Structure 1
């Protein structure tokens, strides 16, 4: 299992991309019936929730305020986070990690996450690269990293927190 990345500063684009590659590795581990699926899933849930919430609170508003992305792109990205969180919760609620149900739910999460990573890398991270200086990306990276770490330390990947996040998304 890939170790949870601990980063609290640096270029925000590079930090986000490092998380994206980590998500792909974690999903690969989840597909392997020989892996410790409950442990991998717990780590994935923690990093995925922390990453998405830090993006929504720190990155997207900053990019929108500088007109690097528009309201529609923010709403679309947040909607994809909601879909991914719902798929994550469905996977977390499967009791038998060796079951066909687990494999199906893992596939659904993988599909949702892969789609989002692709779009975000093209439609959000590229504007961050071109509309922000190195110094601005570093400041935003520090803000994103600090929020991500705060959420990880608060155990944001526990099933009750994930249920709360999914329930809040369905209300809006």
Structure 2
């Protein structure tokens, strides 16, 4: 049983709020991605840019606070929770992996997708007739490939969030 003192409870509330706000801001990113794909054009770009802002510029700050509150909870638990317990060390490692993947792979990919949408929206309509470009502009093909990558990596990150929540609830090794 974990310690339930006043400081511990305040830290627990902080930890839970950081999780709700931070991961809540990013968990439904795929929904926004699908909306942006359906709307396309400037409207789709606006949706994608707003989603990136909420996830990358707002949610990320709360997500970075999650392990800080988690470590403080362990320290405030009067040794009821220990860093040697499986659920604690595994959660910290999995969080670091997920955060690293988000920073090194997912967010740069989303930034590039937003840039590609901007390039496409700034283009003039292609001329028709002889000498006209065959097929879509290269940005379209890259955007489609990056969209698939975003779906795969986003799903991986969402699964990691679920695994972390399961670790927090079941606490294996406690």
What TM-score results when the alignment is normalised by the length of structure 2? 0.50
User: 1:111 aligned to 2:124?
Assistant: no
Q: Deviations over 1:85-139 (max 9, x none)?
A: 22122212211068748822222222222212221211x2122223348xxxxxx
Q: 1:73 to 1:91 in 2, by over 3 A?
A: same
- Which residue is equivalent to 1:159? none
- Which residue is equivalent to 2:113? 84
CA distance in 2, matches of 1:64, 1:102: 43
Q: 1:44 to 1:58 in 2, by over 3 A?
A: same
- Which residue is equivalent to 2:90? none
Unmatched segments (≥5 aa) in structure 2: 1-23, 68-93, 167-174
Greater relative contact order (CA < 8 Å, ≥ 6 in sequence): 1
1:125 pairs with 129, 133, 158, which one?
Answer: 158
- Which residue is equivalent to 2:76? none
User: 1:74 aligned to 2:106?
Assistant: no
Q: Contact 1:13/1:129 (CA < 8 Å) preserved in 2?
A: no
Unmatched segments (≥5 aa) in structure 1: 1-10, 27-39, 134-172
> Which secondary structure state, in structure 2, belongs to the residue aligned with residue 88 of structure 1?
helix
User: 1:21 aligned to 2:34?
Assistant: yes
What TM-score results when the alignment is normalised by the length of structure 1? 0.50
CA distance in 2, matches of 1:101, 1:93: 19
> Which secondary structure state, in structure 1, belongs to the residue aligned with residue 123 of structure 2?
coil
